[in-house]
Amino acid sequence: MNKLFAANWKMHKTQAEAASTTSDLARLCSSLPAGREVLLIAPFTALAATKAAISEAHHFALGAQNFYPATHGAFTGEISPAMLMDCGASYALSGHSERRHILGETDAFVGEKTAFGLKAGLKMILCVGEKLEERKAGQLTEVLTRQIRAGLSGVTADCDAESISVAYEPVWAIGTGLVAGPTEILEAHALTRKLLVEIFGEKGRQVRILYGGSVKPDNAAEIIALDNVDGVLVGGASLKADDFSRIVLA
């Protein structure tokens, strides 16, 4: 399975900035090692500009940060999966901690979105992770089990496992500079793999498990080499082409 290097640009970058970062990345990563894939998860308004800049570097995929689980209708301010695909996106996130904890998205809504996006033809990255107080209270297993089971509850057993990734992103490590250590990552990813096999059977081994939370050029190589780490989801360090290229090539 190829390792996925995903840049989550969050609420950053105008169209011109997205296009220039993408072109710089394409140049810096022109000799991408075999077995690696790059995914740029741009804000809605920069999807088309990012896509246009990607055509120079056909090994990059485009993703969106969010959508509403309906084909169309009276949902002011929302965007459908078909609209994202129309802009060239082939991936989308669901369950990112900022949407769970700032925008109030529930496990049930995240599950609905994951299933809807897959049915609509998007590859989905379901994000899960515990808050610091949950970790301190010894609730890691409980939180991950609940978020993964709910997040995948609408996904049917005949799904294409390669269209699904789960990103383990401990909330306390996102944007804080605190990175989970190898032991913590190994434990959470092994638990995630076990749950995926319980849910999908042997197919659960083809689901990619990404790590996210303060991944930087100087820790990426160690993280990506760990068991059950099939890629990384990078926020802050993905904003500059130079930093992100050093992660991709680590």
User: In terms of CB distance, is 194 or 216 closer to ligand PGA?
Assistant: 216
User: In terms of CB distance, is 154 or 236 closer to ligand PGA?
Assistant: 236
Q: Which residues are within 8 A (CB) of 158 and not within 5 positions of it... i.e. 6 or more apart?
A: none
Q: Which of 124, 169, 170, 204 binds ligand PGA (CB under 6 A)?
A: 169
d(CA 86, CA 189): 33
Would you list the DSSP string of 36-87?
EEEEEEE-GGGHHHHHHHHTTSTTEEEEES---SSSSSS-TT---HHHHHHT
How many C-beta atoms lie closer than 10 Å to residue 82's C-beta? 13
Q: How far is the CB of 155 from ligand PGA (least distance, A)?
A: 21
Catalytic: 59?
no
Q: Which of 143, 234, 241, 250 binds ligand PGA (CB under 6 A)?
A: 234
Asked if residue 215 binds ligand PGA (CB under 6 A), the reply is yes
Q: Which of 26, 38, 235, 250 binds ligand PGA (CB under 6 A)?
A: 235
Asked if residue 89 binds ligand PGA (CB under 6 A), the reply is no
Q: Which of 33, 121, 175, 181 binds ligand PGA (CB under 6 A)?
A: 175
Q: Work out whether strand 3-8 and strand 36-42 pair parallel, antiparallel, or are unpaired.
A: parallel
Give which of 217, 218, 197 is closest to 207, Cα–Cα.
197
d(CA 27, CA 49): 17
Q: How far is the CB of 41 from ligand PGA (least distance, A)?
A: 9
Which of the ranges 16-24, 29-37, 111-119, 206-214 carries the binding residues for ligand PGA, by CB under 6 A? 206-214
Catalytic: 12?
no
**Under 8 Å between Cβ of 190 and 184:** no
Binding site for ligand PGA (CB under 6 A): 8, 169, 174-175, 212-215, 233-237
